[in-house]
Amino acid sequence: MLTTSLGLGLSVLWELGEWLGHTYVDDSIFVEQVDTLGDLAAGGLGALVAGHALVTLVRRAAHARR
């Protein structure tokens, strides 16, 4: 859960950066709603998979030490 939460939080920061870039730097930066939702979903899903992989690796390492 922690990894997923961190991934989603970083996705939100990324989207804020895109919006700031679009607003203050270059209006050609793509910030449509569908793009934003897709980026957030990809970030959350990626973090969920990474968290699951991390837990699996830690459990395997702990089991191997027994």
- What one-character DSSP code corresponds to residue 29? S
User: Would you call 9 helix, strand, or coil by DSSP?
Assistant: helix
Name the amino acid, one letter, at 3.
T
Rounded CA gap, 22 and 38, in Å?
17
Q: 20-62 pLDDT, tens per residue? A: 999 999 999 989 999 999 999 999 999 999 999 999 999 999 9
Token output for 60: 């395997």
Residue 37: the pLDDT is 96
Rounded CA gap, 50 and 20, in Å?
28
Rounded CA gap, 5 and 62, in Å?
24
Residue 51: the pLDDT is 96
pLDDT band at 5 (very low <50, low <70, confident <90, very high): very high
